[in-house]
């Protein structure tokens, strides 16, 4: 197995610290708002990583944290006049709902930052002992970046080239404008539940120290894999390295993994641009903003997961309506194959077969899901050519490795979806309910029996206008699907 290491900027054979075991830490969500599509990419990408590692025989301890103390959380709690824990619990539950919708398996451990304050304070003390941290007159404790020789090795940034204030808060008490905060002194107007006692006075941890403490306490050092979104490489992961390696030497992680950026209409997603899109808005037609859970459209939710998986995790990905329509059409094609051929799913995957070997080779090459999905479509072509339930069953088994293709084909194809095109254009016809469809099919059957073929054809055309395709089977049975 080869993995691209963001630290070395190259692929290399994956070798674990302890044979057969993987200690994997991924930076999770700051829970103050609903998860957006960039989060969907991160969640699904690292879900694929841990799934394939387990499939490959590794014993994986997968930790993904929750940041439940942060300036944004405090601001949200103040704006809502709610306690911090009420805000973080609500959005944590909402995040879990999104994970369930996308078929993301829960991590083995999901620590919350507020439960690891003592570990953070211990690292700060150890950094102070090595003259890597200092307290300012205003009470903050900062990291002295110029005292750590390896600063910039992950991001490739050079301190002298960085401008003060670029993603780093500037304070008059800093020895260097690029120093970052380890412990923030409490301010008089901050909520009482955002403050902890410490040797440095009352306050709260800086963001970066949280992950250094949680990863060390739960997995030790070095980690086999440390991962996260593309925007975390600098400063967050760079600062984690400075903290953990500055305090304890060695390497924080042997392999650093970062998924690629997700763009919306070729632009970075942001609320200011009006292109911000949440997971729940994408996979549920009417999510309730006052509730953490929501009714998932299972066809659309699997489409969104498929949309992420069909691209390599490191490549840039562009979210557009056309791309979603294309992803839905491609996923529908696989389920239509299952519906046509039937399914003879093997009890286990035979990795000695040609298609399975090609799938494995793709996944072993830095989790190349794009290549693995291409193998599945080669199999789809062959399953249709041979009308083979056995090949379709093998497709389903391989899809399960990626967290895909587990739905009943007919139920899937009868589920509504907003992400379809008809005659090359997005569908604008209203969605018929299942009972309306069954009523029209019964009326068509009666018309055919009465030899009113023109009426029967009109009903078929009416159903097609609403995206419902009919397939007449022997014995007078009519199957339908949404297309």
Which residue ranges are tagged as binding site for Zn(2+)?
27, 211, 236, 240
Contacts of 272-277 with C-beta under 8 Å, sequence gap 24+, read 276/36, 277/36, 277/37, 277/319
CA 441 → CA 317, 340, 413, 450, distances in Å? 41, 20, 16, 14
CA distance 23 to 62: 6
State the CB neighbour count (10 A cutoff) for residue 18.
10
Helix (H, G, I), strand (E, B) or coil at 200: coil
DSSP characters over 328-389:
HHHHHHHHHHHHHH-----SS--TTSHHHHHHHHHHHBTS-HHHHHHHHHHHHHHHHHHT-H
- H or E segment to which residue 327 belongs: helix 321-341
CA distance 200 to 78: 25
| Nearest Cα to Cα of residue 184 among 202, 166, 199 | 202
Annotated binding site for ATP: 271
Annotated binding site: 27, 211, 236, 240, 271
| Nearest Cα to Cα of residue 253 among 238, 241, 239 | 241
Pinpoint the alpha helices (H) of 34-105. 37-55, 71-80, 84-101
**Residues contacting residue 64 through CB under 8 Å, at least 6 positions apart:** 25, 26, 27, 28, 46, 107, 109, 110
């Amino acid at each position: 197995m080869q993995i691209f290491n963001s630290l070395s900027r190259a692929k290399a054979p994956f070798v674990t610290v302890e044979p057969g075991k993987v200690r994997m830490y991924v930076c999770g969500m700051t829970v103050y708002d609903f998860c957006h599509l960039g989060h969907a990419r991160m969640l699904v990408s690292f879900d694929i990583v841990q799934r394939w590692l387990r499939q490959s025989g590794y014993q994986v301890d997968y930790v993904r944290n929750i940041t439940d103390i942060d300036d944004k959380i405090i601001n949200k709690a103040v704006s809502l006049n709610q306690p911090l824990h009420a805000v973080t619990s609500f959005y944590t539950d909402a995040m879990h709902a999104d994970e369930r919708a996308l078929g993301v398996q829960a991590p083995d451990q999901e620590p919350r930052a507020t439960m690891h304050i003592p570990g953070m304070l211990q690292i700060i003390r150890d950094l102070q002992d090595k003259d890597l941290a200092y307290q300012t007159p205003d009470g903050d404790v900062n990291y002295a970046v110029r005292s750590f020789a390896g600063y910039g090795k992950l991001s490739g940034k050079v301190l002298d080239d960085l401008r003060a204030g670029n993603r780093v808060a500037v304070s008059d008490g800093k020895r260097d404008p690029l120093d970052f905060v380890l412990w923030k002194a409490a301010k008089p107007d901050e909520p009482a539940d955002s403050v902890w006692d410490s040797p440095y006075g009352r306050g709260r941890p800086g963001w970066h120290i949280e992950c250094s403490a949680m990863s060390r306490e739960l997995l030790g050092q070095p980690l086999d894999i440390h991962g996260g979104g593309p925007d975390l490489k600098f400063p967050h992961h760079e600062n984690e390295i400075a903290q953990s390696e500055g305090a304890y030497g060695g390497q924080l992680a042997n392999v650093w993994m970062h998924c690629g950026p997700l763009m919306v209409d070729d632009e970075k997603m942001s609320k200011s641009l009006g292109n911000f899109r949440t997971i729940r808005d994408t996979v549920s037609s009417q999510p309730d903003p006052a509730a953490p859970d929501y009714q998932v459209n299972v066809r659309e939710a699997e489409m969104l997961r498929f949309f992420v998986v069909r691209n390599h995790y490191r490549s840039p990905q562009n979210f557009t309506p056309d791309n979603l329509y294309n992803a839905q059409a491609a996923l529908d094609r696989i389920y239509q194959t299952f519906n046509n051929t039937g399914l003879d799913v093997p009890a286990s995957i035979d990795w000695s077969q040609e298609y399975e070997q090609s799938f494995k080779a793709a996944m072993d090459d830095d989790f190349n899901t794009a290549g693995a999905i291409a193998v599945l479509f080669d199999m789809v072509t062959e399953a249709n050519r041979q009308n083979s339930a056995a090949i379709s069953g093998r497709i389903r088994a391989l899809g399960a490795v990626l967290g895909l293709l587990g739905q009943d084909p007919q139920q899937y194809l009868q589920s509504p979806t907003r992400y379809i095109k008809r005659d090359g254009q997005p569908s604008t016809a209203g969605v018929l309910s299942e009972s309306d469809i069954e009523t029209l099919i019964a009326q068509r059957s009666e018309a055919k029996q009465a030899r009113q073929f023109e009426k029967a054809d009109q009903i078929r055309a009416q159903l097609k206008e609403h995206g419902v395709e009919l397939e007449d089977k022997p014995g007078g049975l009519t199957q339908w699907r949404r297309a």
